[in-house]
Amino acid sequence: MPRHSRISLRPRSPRWRTASVWPQRSPISQPARMLVVFFSDVGTRCSCCQVGVWIEAGSRYEDTKTNGAAFFMEHMAFKGTKKRPGSAFEKEVESLGAHLNGYTSREQTAFYIKALSKDMPKVVELLSDLVQNCALEDSQIEKERGVILQELKEMDSNLADVTFDYLHATAYQGTSLAHTVEGTTENIKRLTRADLASYVDIHFKAPRMVLAAAGGISHRELVDAAKQHFTGAPLTHKGDSVPTLKHCRFTGSEIRARDDALPLAHIALAVEGPGWADPDNVVLNVANAIIGRYDRTFGGGTNQSSKLATLAVKHNLCHSFEPFNTSYSDTGLFGFHFVSDPLSVDDMMFCAQGEWMRLCTSTTESEVTRAKNYLRNAMVAQLDGTTRVCENIGSHLLHYGRRIPLEEWDARISVGIRLFWLGYLSTVGVSIVWP
Amino acid sequence: MLSVAARAGPFAPFVSAAAHAVPGPLRPLAPAAAHRDRKVPLDLKRPLLCRESLSGRAARGGLVASASLNAPASVRCVHNDVAVPDFSAYRRQDVQDASASSQGSSDSRKGFSYLMTAATGVATAYVAKNVVTQFISSLSASADVLALSKIEIKLSDIPEGKNMAFKWRGKPLFVRHRTQAEISQEAGVDVSQLRDPQHDLDRVKKPEWVILVGVCTHLGCVPIANAGDFGGYYCPCHGSHYDASGRIRKGPAPLNLEVPFYQFIGDDTVVVG
């Protein structure tokens, strides 16, 4: 499951004459020419706005030696730029009363600022400074090493995330998707300024960046601000070597991390799913909505709409479960994750896989209708607030090359769902963290 | 499967780890005998880094340590450092390339696996069936008993006109070397007049040799050879007359004498049964 939600919103700007249209299906394979700017008209009465830069860079673009550079870079980005060294950058952001945040995931990195709408030009300038002029001071780098290592230790206690990291490590073993976003402790200790600088140099290029904004700002103003501050953004790669993604091979495999001190087992089971641009994703999301989710705080007892949840309650199979459909540019993981007592792991696995099999043959019309409505609801609810809308824009542009409007989602969901693909359920990757 | 090594518990006094550094190899473990004789002094100035004390600092639990005899010991701090080993030595050719999708070859790989499984299953079933039948058939009659069911007769020992009796399957077996006169006489008999109509040639393979089971079909006595009114056999119990072909001619018997299954092996031998 992605650690961070992705929302982005951007309109097309016909005035931005050097903007090009990203190819619909494979944005990673063709280099676009220019930074693409999008904006959403959430309503000019909205007094705040969110502006962010979404960059097509992440742990998937790293190799074993540089794994962790993206995460390190995210830390360093907030530690000052050439124009605003040290804590001057953060102070300036805070003096606006704005929130600065960022995240790194396997295929994208984002930096965004939420501020008042009137401060938008300043915010755009700050962002341009951040992505183009990161200071990368040596003293800060050394300090950050310790911080990041401590953060790694703390992340170890989030067992759900650990399970998913293990799932990626085994399912995509031998490929770059197996890397964790944070990197290994060895790399964290070893990465130098030169490594980070070269990482920035390769990936923080205009064709791989999206400036997204949402809130009470006007499109024209945004475009002007972007023209002013991002014109200097580097366009070409050294030696014309555009970083492209190789396909990541999925290996049916299993990893079990045994730890007798844990009271509960965390299990993630996945099969290879389609990439972002594949229309099958809608079907798989409907399937996930049919499977439903459950945890012990649900009040329905044995009267749950999800058949698997009913079983889980009746036979006390698990503490919680949820299905997931994680997508990357050309591959994905479709599966479910559950937390249970160590003695009911077998039963829950059996029931969950039985639910998959049931989906292949015996879903009812009412279930599918319910799931479709749930999915429609979720799609709309996802656009609740400028932060999420902005994230929606940024992600969509990076994944699909365009922003998919709600009407299109609705149309795709309404199409008759054909028979659930048994073909997806062929190879399986399993990750188990259990006592 | 990848298993993470044991906890630091028993090695606690010997594992020394700084907060972020990976320590060197473990000190050699004291053998149990030496441990009894010589107490390990507890250095109070040095902090005892064990699971309990470290868990106060670490976010979760204690350290995870692995120790082995001839490899450096390591302390893994976080799950990020767990690397799935390279299994290329075990991979099939189709999935060696990490940048090629495994979907394309999945059908052929699965097909191969299923084919091998099916073939092995068939072969195993065949072998299992053979083994089982061998063991069970060892409970049935042995070869010497089975050999008793057949009899091999040397024909040159029987002169013309003579009838020899052998014991076969507990019953008398008559082998008669017929003369030409007898043969033609039996061939000329009107079949429609017989109680059990059978032509002589239907009862023999070679006309000069007639092989019969010497049990009267009336009530089971043994007929006497070269006796009776028809130049064949005569049963003294109730007076049944058989001819030279073993057919009933007169008397109470209902059927002709039984002709067993026999085969001529070469010119001189017949195997009956």
ipTM here: 0.75
Alpha helices in B138-219 (DSSP H): 143-147, 180-187, 200-203
Q: A169, B84: Cβ pair inside 8 Å?
A: yes
Chain B CB contacts of A142 below 8 Å: none
What does the block give as tokens for A161?
A: 């995330």
B150 touches chain A (CB under 8 A): no
CA distance B18 to chain A (A): 13
Mean residue pLDDT of chain B comes to 80
Q: B103, A152: Cβ pair inside 8 Å?
A: no
pLDDT exceeds cutoff 50 at B8: no
pLDDT exceeds cutoff 50 at B57: no
Beta strands per DSSP E along chain B: 64-66, 74-76, 151-154, 163-168, 171-177, 209-213, 224-227, 231-235, 240-243, 248-250, 262-265, 269-272
Q: A166, B79: Cβ pair inside 8 Å?
A: yes
- Give me the percent of chain B exceeding a pLDDT of 70: 72
Q: CB of B273 within 8 A of CB of B149? A: yes
pLDDT in tens, A377-418: 999 998 888 889 889 989 998 999 888 888 888 988 888 665
Tell which wins on pLDDT, B244 or B46.
B244
CA distance A173 to chain B (A): 7
Tell which wins on pLDDT, A32 or B176.
B176
Start-to-end CA span in chain B (Å): 65
A74 in catalytic set: yes
pLDDT in tens, A71-129: 999 999 999 899 998 889 999 999 999 999 999 999 999 999 999 999 999 999 999 99
DSSP character for A81?
A: B
DSSP character for A379?
A: H
> Which pLDDT value is given to residue B47?
57
> Which pLDDT value is given to residue B253?
92
Pairing of strands B231-235, B240-243: antiparallel
B60 touches chain A (CB under 8 A): yes
> Which pLDDT value is given to residue A419?
52
Q: A256, B60: Cβ pair inside 8 Å?
A: no
pLDDT in tens, A416-432: 665 555 556 655 666 66
pLDDT, average across residues B111-132 = 97
Q: B22, A185: Cβ pair inside 8 Å?
A: yes
> Which pLDDT value is given to residue B149?
84
- A154, A182, A258 ranked by CB distance to B59: nearest: A154
Tell which wins on pLDDT, B13 or A315.
A315
Q: CB of A294 within 8 A of CB of A312? A: yes
Contact residues, B window 89-128, toward A, CB-based 8 Å cutoff = 95, 97-103, 106, 110
Question: What CATH superfamily is the domain B151-272?
Answer: Rieske [2Fe-2S] iron-sulphur domain (2.102.10.10)
pLDDT exceeds cutoff 90 at B117: yes
Kindly indicate the confidence band of residue B83, based on its pLDDT and cuts at 50, 70 and 90: confident
> Which pLDDT value is given to residue A276?
92
- A153, A255, A272 ranked by CB distance to B77: nearest: A153
Tell which wins on pLDDT, A377 or B5.
A377
Kindly indicate the confidence band of residue A376, based on its pLDDT and cuts at 50, 70 and 90: very high
Threshold 0.80, pTM exceeds:
no
Q: B79, A178: Cβ pair inside 8 Å?
A: no
Q: A257, B79: Cβ pair inside 8 Å?
A: yes
Kindly indicate the confidence band of residue B27, based on its pLDDT and cuts at 50, 70 and 90: very low
DSSP character for A344?
A: G
User: Active site residue: B35, B218, B238, B241, which one?
Assistant: B238
pLDDT in tens, B241-270: 999 999 999 999 999 999 999 999 988 899
Q: B100, A155: Cβ pair inside 8 Å?
A: no
Count of helices and strands (H, E) across chain B:
6, 12
pLDDT, average across residues B218-239 = 91
CA distance A156 to chain B (A): 6
pLDDT, average across residues B203-222 = 92
> Which pLDDT value is given to residue A433?
61
pLDDT in tens, A122-170: 999 999 999 998 888 899 999 999 899 889 888 888 999 999 999 999 9
pLDDT exceeds cutoff 60 at A375: yes
Sign of CA dihedral B217, B219, B222, B223: negative
A260 touches chain B (CB under 8 A): yes
> Which pLDDT value is given to residue A430?
66
Cβ neighbors of A349 (< 8 A, separation 6 or more) are A267, A269
- Residue in B20, B78, B82 to test binding to A, most A beta-carbons within 10 Å: B78
- B4, B22, B60 ranked by CB distance to A156: nearest: B60
pLDDT exceeds cutoff 60 at B55: no
Residue A276 CB coordination number (10 Å): 21
pLDDT exceeds cutoff 90 at A39: no
Kindly indicate the confidence band of residue B60, based on its pLDDT and cuts at 50, 70 and 90: very low
B231 by Cβ neighbours in 10 Å (0-12 / 13-18 / 19+) ranks as middle
Kindly indicate the confidence band of residue A351, based on its pLDDT and cuts at 50, 70 and 90: very high
CA distance A384 to chain B (A): 34
pLDDT, average across residues B138-157 = 86
A245 touches chain B (CB under 8 A): no
From A13-22, A41-50, B203-212, the region with the lowest mean pLDDT: A13-22
> Which pLDDT value is given to residue B50?
66
B77 touches chain A (CB under 8 A): yes
> Which pLDDT value is given to residue A25?
27
Tell which wins on pLDDT, B28 or A252.
A252
Tell which wins on pLDDT, A233 or A158.
A158
Q: Which domains does chain A have, with CATH numbers?
A: 28-230 (3.30.830.10), 254-433 (3.30.830.10)
Q: A250, B101: Cβ pair inside 8 Å?
A: yes
Residue B118 Cα distances to A411, B91, B121, B125, angstroms: 46, 21, 5, 10
pLDDT in tens, A192-229: 999 999 999 999 988 888 999 888 888 888 888 888 88
- Give me the percent of chain A exceeding a pLDDT of 90: 52
- B61, B80, B100 ranked by CB distance to A152: nearest: B80
Tell which wins on pLDDT, A41 or A71.
A71
Q: B100, A249: Cβ pair inside 8 Å?
A: yes
C-alpha–C-alpha distance, residues B58 and A173, integer Å: 29
Chain B CB contacts of A157 below 8 Å: 59-60
C-alpha–C-alpha distance, residues A259 and B217, integer Å: 88
> Which pLDDT value is given to residue A428?
63
Kindly indicate the confidence band of residue B52, based on its pLDDT and cuts at 50, 70 and 90: low
Chain A CB contacts of B83 below 8 Å: 169, 184
Kindly indicate the confidence band of residue B82, based on its pLDDT and cuts at 50, 70 and 90: confident
- A153, A175, A180 ranked by CB distance to B58: nearest: A153
Chain B CB contacts of A169 below 8 Å: 82-84
Mean residue pLDDT of chain A comes to 84
